[in-house]
Amino acid sequence: MQEKILELLEDRKYGEIAALVKDMNPADAAAMLQELPEARMPVVFRLLPKELAAETFAYMEGDAQELLIQGFTDKELDEVMEEMFLDDAVDMIEEMPANVVKKILRHVDADTRKMINQVLNYPKDSAGSIMTMEYVDLKRRMTVEQAFERIRATALDSETVYTCYVTDSRRKLEGVITVRELLMAPKDAVLMDIMETNVKFVTTHTDQEEAARLLSKYDFLALPVVDAEERLVGIVTVDDAIDVIQEETTEDMEMMAAISPSDRPYLKTGVFTTWKQRVPWLLLLMISATFTSTIIASYEGALAASVVLTGFIPMLMDTGGNAGSQSSITVIRGLSLGEIRYRDVPRLVGKELCVAVLCGLSLAAANFIKLMLVDRVTLPVAAVVSLTLVCVVLVSNFVGSVLPVLAKRIGFDPAVMASPFITTIVDAVALIIYFNIAKLLLGI
Amino acid sequence: MQEKILELLEDRKYGEIAALVKDMNPADAAAMLQELPEARMPVVFRLLPKELAAETFAYMEGDAQELLIQGFTDKELDEVMEEMFLDDAVDMIEEMPANVVKKILRHVDADTRKMINQVLNYPKDSAGSIMTMEYVDLKRRMTVEQAFERIRATALDSETVYTCYVTDSRRKLEGVITVRELLMAPKDAVLMDIMETNVKFVTTHTDQEEAARLLSKYDFLALPVVDAEERLVGIVTVDDAIDVIQEETTEDMEMMAAISPSDRPYLKTGVFTTWKQRVPWLLLLMISATFTSTIIASYEGALAASVVLTGFIPMLMDTGGNAGSQSSITVIRGLSLGEIRYRDVPRLVGKELCVAVLCGLSLAAANFIKLMLVDRVTLPVAAVVSLTLVCVVLVSNFVGSVLPVLAKRIGFDPAVMASPFITTIVDAVALIIYFNIAKLLLGI
């Protein structure tokens, strides 16, 4: 597609390009434009039909949007801003440098400007910051027919029309009704008789992750957002909820791998930014790892007495780290899906310890056989290593399951307690257990 | 809530319970019922109004559903199955033992039974296996008014009415139109003039993850599924797409932590099942870790000549593992979000190596200072350790970024190449680099 278009551009066959792109889906058009060389992209963008151009713009990434805005005439910017939904506009503005923001805000009407500023003021990652204020609001005394009139009148400017909210004169949320229910109801039915009054909602300060979780739990297409006085101020739609879920997952995975989270896609991030995301954690973990060296050094006597013990250190440390990260990731994921609650913690730890005993014994047995038959070490050494394995897995599963819960309790993201952190703790504990069992059984 | 209900049950105040639960949201009612003791749950379920009961049933987990079905009268089962959407019914049937499935299938009509069997036959994790066949289909010559009539007629049995599909007499997909567009169009407009003909679709055998990705990319509420002859056979709805995204993420995270994926929530899985999910990986990784012991053993001479080197082994191995898992998780997530494609791989590896040089130099510098000032080792030893650090981070980032891509290329899930696997490889490589640099610089 891109090559075909570049060829046509070369030959100045603009009409053919216009014919080629006029029926594209906006998401596809955005992807295609972003693959074009920067100098060519605005040319092709201008060949899109007006409405498609505006929709496509909303799907583009920040740097491409900035490039286009820099070159837009006043009229073009007006057209694009006119079509754009409020939440998309806010997303875009958040990524733009100040001079571009100024240019944009000059081209929206006073009402929209006020709304944009309001949304920009909500805390990052709150429901308020991702909501849109463009929804359909109805009144309780409307008939179904009047409701449809109102929906038709506001449909162009509403992000979703399928879930409508019934509010009183002070914008307090009274009920919710879907277009499906309206379609099924007689034309002269009055909303207050057919609307659902048990409305689920979040406040502007609710965490966006919680809002997404509720949307998914109740299979809603939109969730209303109210302010401190319980007045309806906006809605969060299901497509934004999916984006939030994906973003938060990426963040969790990054934290699990000891990377400071970033909002930008990997390939758009510069080498220095990526370095800054990663090196503090590597440094921190490197310094903690030197404690293990200190531990090894302090047992130098024991090691000198039985040199064969050194060889098993990596295996014991790795196994502890692996078992710990199995537990911690299970718990972190359970917490983030809401499957594990605080009151489940005793059951959780109990289960992890049972699993640890089973896993520990299986590993110890396999290891014992290998030590005796393959490595041909003495029975006491095999016993030390196998016994240590059982203890290490027990400790690892305990640490791995308890730390994420503790982190959440004191207000941290449980994901920071994932493998790298736990590995470091478990390493140290594994060595101490190992050398003490060795001292005890081998009498060194 | 639960305690209040249990109290009322004790006093046989069934009327009060019914009043309490009659306006509950079905998802909340399901959660509440599942917290009740098994013996009491069916009693309270029967106090729900008929329609709410059926909806609530669809939100319950497999074991609770099974318990209820075992006790249902024929009439009750009829009512529940009548209300249930096809995809929910299939989800349920997949988890039931054979005798319960038989009982269920006796209570659905022949058409539904045929559809259920068809969906059950699609491969696990395919779009066909999660689709529903209950959608609104329209014909191209219908007017908007006729379309609304058809929507009203089928609304009760359709999972979503908001996206309607236009098919020809052989069920071939010709177009798509949303209720929003229908509401905005004049009543006498003909569908073929206003429908979108550039329809995005998947086939029954498309991976469910790909279907969910498309739904999210295009911000759709539903995505049509066609068979090999391009006939429309079903739709995937956005709520199912969210479930798929969550499931696949859990699976990725489990694989990253070296756990065989499972479909059941953690707290519902028995200790033995969890043990079976985890122990094969621990065993495999333990055995690979013994290679590190072999490597250490084979350099025993070098170690004996410079005992101080032993103490830095854990730090070097840990840092390699951490750097490798940073790279691998970044790449795995990028692949699964579709942000990284095969043709991006050279750029990706290039960037990882640049980041590795920066991170490696930073760590080496910090470490060198610490070695000279705190540990007071000799200059050559400090040089060996610092130089090894740089090399280890380089190798780790390379392995961490390339292996997941290779895994995907040969048809594996990239997530299997996450930290535990990479740690094991990197450990071995780190040791070999360490000892060889030591030999070279220290002349041992």
Q: Which residue of B has its CA nearest to A308?
A: B297
Contact B260, B282 (CB under 8 A): no
Per-residue pLDDT of chain A in tens (444 residues, 90 and over written 9): 778 888 888 888 888 888 888 889 999 999 899 888 888 899 899 999 888 898 899 899 888 898 898 888 888 888 888 888 888 888 888 888 888 888 888 888 888 888 888 888 898 889 998 998 889 999 999 999 999 999 999 887 788 889 999 999 999 999 999 999 999 999 999 999 999 998 999 999 999 999 999 999 999 999 999 998 889 999 999 999 999 999 888 888 888 888 888 777 777 788 888 888 888 888 888 888 777 778 887 887 777 777 788 788 888 988 998 899 889 988 988 888 888 888 889 999 999 999 999 999 999 999 999 999 988 889 999 999 999 999 999 999 999 999 999 988 888 888 877 767 788 888 889 999 999 999 898 887
Asked if the Cβ–Cβ distance from A257 to B337 is below 8 Å, we say no
- Yes or no: say if A166 and A137 are a contact pair by the CB < 8 Å rule: yes
Q: Over the stretch B303-360, which tens digit does the pLDDT of each residue have?
A: 777 778 878 888 898 899 889 988 998 898 888 888 888 888 999 999 999 999 999 9
Per the prediction, chain B carries an average pLDDT of 88
Interchain CB distance below 8 Å, A183 and B155: yes
**Degrees, nearest 5: CA angle A255-A259-A263:** 85
Cβ atoms < 10 Å from Cβ of A276: 15
pTM of the model as a whole: 0.82
Of residues A398 and B104, the one with the higher pLDDT is: A398
For residue A397, count other CB atoms closer than 10 A to its CB. 29
B37, B45 in Cβ contact below 8 A? no
Report the pLDDT value the prediction gives residue A270, as an integer from 0 to 100: 84
Query: Which residue reads 């979703």 in tokens?
Result: A160
Q: Which pLDDT belongs to residue B419?
A: 66
* ipTM of model: 0.81
- Chain A partners within 8 Å of B180 (Cβ): 155, 161-162
CA atoms within 13 A on the CB side of B360: 23
In angstroms, the CA A202 to CA A234 distance is: 10
Q: Does any CB of chain A come closer than 8 Å to the CB of residue B337? A: yes
Which of A134, A149, A218, A242 has the most B C-beta neighbours within 10 Å, making it the best mutation to test the interface with B? Answer: A242
Say whether pLDDT at B208 is over 80: yes
- Tell me how far apart the alpha carbons of residues B374 and B246 are, in angstroms, rounded to a whole number: 48
CA A163/CA A156 separation, integer angstroms = 15
One-letter-per-residue 3-state SS of chain A = CHHHHHHHHHCCCHHHHHHHHCCCCHHHHHHHHHHCCCCCHHHHHHCCCHHHHHHHHHHCCHHHHHHHHHHCCHHHHHHHHHHCCHHHHHHHHHHCCHHHHHHHHHCCCHHHHHHHHHHHHCCCCEHHHHCECCCCEECCCCEHHHHHHHHHHHHHHCCCCCEEEEECCCCEEEEEEEHHHHHHCCCCCEHHHHCECCCCCEECCCEHHHHHHHHHHCCCCEEEEECCCCEEEEEEEHHHHHHHHHHHHHHHHHHHCCCCCCCCCHHHCCHHHHHHHHHHHHHHHHHHHHHHHHHHHHCHHHHHHCHHHHHHHHHHHHHHHHHHHHHHHHHHHHHHHCCCCHHHHHHHHHHHHHHHHHHHHHHHHHHHHHHHHHHCCCHHHHHHHHHHHHHHHHHHHHHHHHHHHHHHHCCCCHHHHCHHHHHHHHHHHHHHHHHHHHHHHHCC
Q: Would you call A246 and B216 a contact, using CB atoms and an 8 Å cutoff? A: yes
- Contact of A298 with chain B, judged by CB distance below 8 Å, is answered with no
Average pLDDT over residues B174-201: 94
A 10 A CB-CB count for B172 gives: 13
- Give the 3-state secondary structure of residue B324: helix
pLDDT band at B70 (very low <50, low <70, confident <90, very high): confident
Helix (H) or strand (E) holding B137: strand B137-138
A134 dihedral zone (left: phi>0; alpha: psi -120 to 50; beta): beta
| Binding-face residues of B in 107-166 toward A, CB within 8 A | 148, 151-152, 155-156, 161-162
- For residue B202, the model assigns a pLDDT of 96
Instruction: Judge whether B290 and B313 are in contact, CB under 8 Å.
Output: no
Residue of A nearest to B258 (CA): A326
Rounded CA-CA distance A177/A160 in Å is 13
What DSSP designation does B196 have?
Answer: B
Is A151 in Cβ contact with B351 (below 8 Å)? no
Phi, psi for residue B196 in degrees, rounded to 5? -85, 125
Would an 8 Å CB–CB cutoff place B2 in contact with chain A? no
Residue type, B107: H
Which residues from B are below 8 Å from A267, CB to CB? 334, 339-340, 344, 347-348, 351
pLDDT at A208: 93
Return the minimum-mean-pLDDT range out of A77-86, B47-56, B64-73.
Answer: A77-86
